[in-house]
Every structure is written in C-alpha cells, then in structure tokens.
Structure 1
C-alpha cells in the first residue's frame, strides 16, 4: 500500500525530471494525446499557460519562447512552437507504461514541418555579422514511436506539428487518392517507425511558417482566429506534404535513422558549422570523433540534410566567405587559405559555382557602393 502511494506521489512530479547525457539536457514530455502534451509542457516550472489564447510561454534556464495550440476538429490538433535555446536540449517523448494503457488508446500520428536555425560560433574580429544557417525538413511519426527533438545552444527553432488519431486518418487521409499515390498507405502498413525528409529553402512548403504565423495569431495582432482560414491553411499544408512524397518518391528512397545515430548526425552538422575556418576535417576523422561508421555517416547525413557531407560543409563556407568579402575583413587570398583551399583559383571556382559571381566581382561591387 505504501509503495503504491509513493509511486502515485512521485508520478505528479515525473514531468519535471530531466537527465544529462550525450552533451544534452533531456527533458521528457507526455504525448499520449495532444492535451497531455500541452499539460505536460505547461506544467514545467517557469511556464505560463494562457488557456484563453491557447498558448504556453516559457522562460526557463533551458530555453525561451513558446507555442500556440488549437483543436481544429475531433481527432486533429495543430501545435506551432517557436523556441530559442540557451543550452543543448533534447525533448524526449514519454508514453505511459504499456501495462497501464487502455486497449482503445492507439495514440496520435505526428506530421511536422521543421525549421532548425543554428548560429555558428564565429570570431567577431573577422566577421561582425551573426550568421544563421537554416535547415528545413518534415517528419511523419507513427503513434507511440520514440522521438527526440535535438536543439543546440543558440538555435532558434520552429515546428508546425499536426496531431491526428487513427480515426481521423482512416476517415480523411486513407480515402484520398493522393495519399496512396504518395506511397503513404504502404508506409502506414510497414514496420518503419517514421519518415524524415529534407526540404529545400526555396520550396513552397517553407512559406507555411509565415502563413501559420498569421492564421494562428502567433504575434497576438488579431482579436480572434479565423477558423475557416485556419482549416484551409492546414489542409494546404497536408496536401503540400502529400505532393512532396509523391513527386520525390519519398517512401521508396527514405530509410529511418536510429535514435543514437540521429544524435551523432546532428552533432556532426553542429561541429562542421562551428569550424568553418578550417578545411574539411575528413569523413574518417568525423566518424571516429562521433562514434559512427563512415558508411553510416555518409548515407545518413545525406538522408538527414539532403546533401553529401562535404558539399554541405563547402556551401556553408561559401555563405561565410560572402560575408567576409562584404565586410572587407580579409583578402580573397586570405579567405582561400583559411578555408583550406590549395590555391585561390580553386576557391574562386567554388565561390562562383555557389553564388554565381566571382569573389573579385562581389568585392568590386561592394567597393563601388561604399564610395
């Protein structure tokens, strides 16, 4: 009797527990239902929950920001979160003990459009501008599958997440021909736990962040939410996702990355963007440093970020190089040397390929503007 009483008492505070591993604070939250998710996060210390506006604001030692939530109809919720991270944080989904779950509780699918923006550490003596590197993706998780959002210190991340249950899926999506054309009926029947796919920053899907800022009244500029417009925008987001799956043959090309490797791949990306002043460290070095095989590193990095690892690193260098030329902090020869190029001509060719302009031409343009 005493043991059961103690267990019940401890469960009241379970959502406040966090652990530290792999360089991250792991914060658990419940996702049995969207209501449970909202209450789980709202009950953390330093959180403010406005039930009228259906928003939660956070200013904790871990992060600042918040999220808005809405139940559009039975079985369908939308949660839009915007957070800035003060340290490395991983949000871990926590489910009830299977022995305590009801048979009819099948959980919720999660379809999410993600914008993860990192701020690499750059010497301000060389580049005064704070650069931001944005990565876009979407994820589609089946109910009760282990999931973890990896967020690095200094990141500004946004997630538009649709939660829908089995009944809503059967009634609305499985009956749609585009759903089957996209191969997602096969995904539902498969043993794959989730799909994660990179999105190009020029893709139409990216515009949804601006659209949902307005329709969910994220800036509190409107007196009320236009639910008809909100539903229309949500449907457009779903159909955009389905068209992407169909046109890019996502189900055929996708493979799931396991939980531990996901951490490693994200750490590799963060390491690369924090060391842009050096030449590419090499696949063998990265594989050994982050405890992942070279073959997995190459294939899973491309799966997660949409580009081969060296090309990804080179493109981020070219973005930084442009800022250095604009600020006139370093000579082109110096930039070339810093980035590990054998000679200036190879750097110039890489710069021209990415920016469609020679670095010398950009330098001249900036000089002409200055005078």
Structure 2
C-alpha cells in the first residue's frame, strides 16, 4: 500500500509534431525553457529531466532526453485516433531495467532496446525509484514515410502492419543492431545544436531515412529461450547472415539476442561448427557477392559499395582488398580483359 502511495502516476496523450510548441507552452509553469539551446528542464520532488529537441518542419521531431526518478513512476501514453505518425525510441543508457506494458504484453526494457509504434498505441511504462535513463525519440509523420522510405523494404509483418494500418501494435527489439546503434548515437549528438543550418537539417533527414530503411530491412528471427537452443544454432546464424549481405554487419549482441544465446556461447558454437567467427564468415560471403557484382562491367565500384550497405566507397575498397589482396577496381579491370 505504501508503495502504491509513493508511485507517481502520469498520463500523456500522443500529439502531432505541429502541436509541439503549443503543448510545451501549456506546461510552462512546470518546465524551464532555453530556446537558444533548444532545451527544456524540470526538477521537483519526484523526478528531474532535461531534453533537447530538434524540430524539422511538421514531419520530424527529435527528442534527446535524460531522466532521473526519485520515486517510482507509472506513466501511461494514451492513443490519439487522429492523423498518423510514428515514434522510434531507443534507450541509450540506463542504470536499471524498466517495464513496458502494452495490452497483455510485458517487456523488460534494457539499454540498447529499440521500439517503433504509432499514435494509435496505448502503453504504460513503469520506472523504479532511483532510475536513470537517457533515450532518443524520433517522431515521424506518415508523410515523411511516404516521401523518403521505400515500403517494399519492410521485411517484418508487424512493422508492415504498424506502417499500413491504424493499430496499437508495437515493434520492439531487445538489442538493436550495431549499425543502427551507431546512427542513433550520431543523431543524439546533433539534437539541439543551435548552429544547425538548412544543409545540416537536410543531412539529418537523410540520416533518419537511412536509419529507418536499415531497421525496415532487418530479417528478424523470433528469439528463442536458451533452454531450447538448437544444436545447429551456428548453421542458423550462418543462414541468417547469408540474407544480410547487403547491409552492415548487425553486431554480436544483436545476433545473440535474436537466437537466444550469450555472445560468448555464440562465438564458441560458431567457431566449432564453421571454424571462423560470425563477422569473418559474413565479410567473406559479402566480398564474394561483391566479386559477382563487379563482373558486370557496367557496375561501378561506388555502386557496388552502396548496394552492399557501405557508407562510402573507401571502406568497401579497404574491405575488398583485405579479403582478396587486390582493389575492386583492379579486379574489375582484370576480369573484363579475360
């Protein structure tokens, strides 16, 4: 009973990006605003938080938030059955696990958890006393999805439903792939920068569309319990990576979470079965695919690099040369003269 009395109950409804400043103005008695640095702060007996924001028209709102709870919190986010927009949320840092409740589903949220949901979602977040969290949230309009995202890239049926239909579904990954982690951390560093120019903002929009595209193309397996780990887990991971060659390596934490095994266990099983590491297996297969693409003389080195998920041609050239001791350009020349 005492615990219930010490729980802070909060409710907030989804609001469209265009209403951001209007909503913030309604809370002006509770928040301190530094418009020069695009930062809001609050500190009371129950919690303290600070968040910086970047508002990019009516299509994108980025929030970089740091929270400390002095008491236990129970926060409900209410649906808004009007319009269509989405939130991508990533946990950058935390000192304890949090619990998210969506309908009959309960999730324990840890550092590197990533979630996507629409304004039709209705969920509760429970935070323990003494909880610290740093997160990045990107609110995206449906118009942005239509303009910048190739929906044919969406591979998971739950993601497809969230984007296509009004529903309260949530897509949640307990461990984001390393390339997505990297992109989100880069984005967090830019939020609230008052020196942002229109060129910077265009780069940010491109960065967000690339991050979403990467998320939508993920081939997600249903995580398995460690007790039901199949004997051929190494083969299953290898087959998964075979379908992943046109994207950056997802990272060992992500693979381990997807297949319900520890990172050390995955490394051990894979080494025993494949006589190599998951990354070396992936890179070798990826460079073999690059060879085949380069054999078509009309395909440039830069085009192949882009098709295989590299950020730039230089990194691709370095990886190809490390694998075959020849640059991709030289390899293409030799093949065309044979």
Query: What is the TM-score when the length of structure 2 is the normalising length?
Result: 0.52
CA deviation string 1:41-73 (max 9, x = no partner): 661754212334332101122221211222213
Residue 171 of structure 1: CA displacement?
Answer: 2.7
Q: 1:57 aligns with which of 41, 51, 58?
A: 41
Change (3 A) 1:166 1:243: closer
Change (3 A) 1:84 1:227: farther
Which sections of structure 2, spanning at least 5 residues, go unmatched? Answer: 98-108, 224-255, 269-338
In structure 1, what is the equivalent of residue 73 of structure 2?
89
**What is the alpha-carbon distance in structure 1 between the residues aligned to residue 117 and residue 111 of structure 2?**
19
Q: 2:90 aligns with which of 100, 108, 113?
A: 113
Residue 215 of structure 1: CA displacement?
Answer: 1.2
- Runs of 4 or more above 6 Å deviation: none
What's the secondary structure of 1:65's corresponding residue? strand
In structure 1, what is the equivalent of residue 180 of structure 2?
205
In structure 2, what is the equivalent of residue 144 of structure 1?
120
**What is the alpha-carbon distance in structure 1 between the residues aligned to residue 18 and residue 4 of structure 2?**
28
Change (3 A) 1:214 1:307: closer
Residue 197 of structure 1: CA displacement?
Answer: 1.0
In structure 1, what is the equivalent of residue 15 of structure 2?
32
Which sections of structure 1, spanning at least 5 residues, go unmatched? Answer: 1-19, 99-104, 121-132, 255-304, 316-348, 354-371
Change (3 A) 1:189 1:74: closer
**What is the alpha-carbon distance in structure 1 between the residues aligned to residue 28 and residue 72 of structure 2?**
17
Residue 146 of structure 1: CA displacement?
Answer: 0.5
1:38-77 residue pairs with structure 2 within 5 A? Answer: 40=23, 43=27, 46-77=30-61
**What is the alpha-carbon distance in structure 2 between the residues aligned to residue 214 and residue 109 of structure 1?**
22
CA deviation string 1:12-34 (max 9, x = no partner): xxxxxxxx959742211232223
Residue 241 of structure 1: CA displacement?
Answer: 4.0
CA deviation string 1:53-104 (max 9, x = no partner): 33210112222121122221332221221112212223322356x7xxxxxx
1:299-310 residue pairs with structure 2 within 5 A? Answer: 306=257
Is residue 76–residue 124 contact of structure 2 (8 Å, CA) maintained in 1?
A: yes
**What is the alpha-carbon distance in structure 1 between the residues aligned to residue 142 and residue 53 of structure 2?**
20
CA deviation string 1:237-271 (max 9, x = no partner): 44234324423336xx49xxxxxxxxxxxxxxxxx
Change (3 A) 1:166 1:21: farther
Change (3 A) 1:86 1:230: farther
Query: What is the TM-score when the length of structure 1 is the normalising length?
Result: 0.48
In structure 2, what is the equivalent of residue 185 of structure 1?
160
**What is the alpha-carbon distance in structure 1 between the residues aligned to residue 20 and residue 128 of structure 2?**
22
**What is the alpha-carbon distance in structure 2 between the residues aligned to residue 116 and residue 23 of structure 1?**
25
In structure 1, what is the equivalent of residue 283 of structure 2?
none
Q: 1:171 aligns with which of 141, 147, 164?
A: 147
CA deviation string 1:148-172 (max 9, x = no partner): 3332222221222121233333233
**What is the alpha-carbon distance in structure 2 between the residues aligned to residue 22 and residue 172 of structure 1?**
47
What's the secondary structure of 1:188's corresponding residue? helix
Change (3 A) 1:40 1:25: farther
What's the secondary structure of 1:140's corresponding residue? strand
**What is the alpha-carbon distance in structure 2 between the residues aligned to residue 185 and residue 209 of structure 1?**
22
Residue 231 of structure 1: CA displacement?
Answer: 4.0
RMSD of the alignment, in Å? 4.0
CA deviation string 1:157-194 (max 9, x = no partner): 12221212333332332xx1563346543443355612
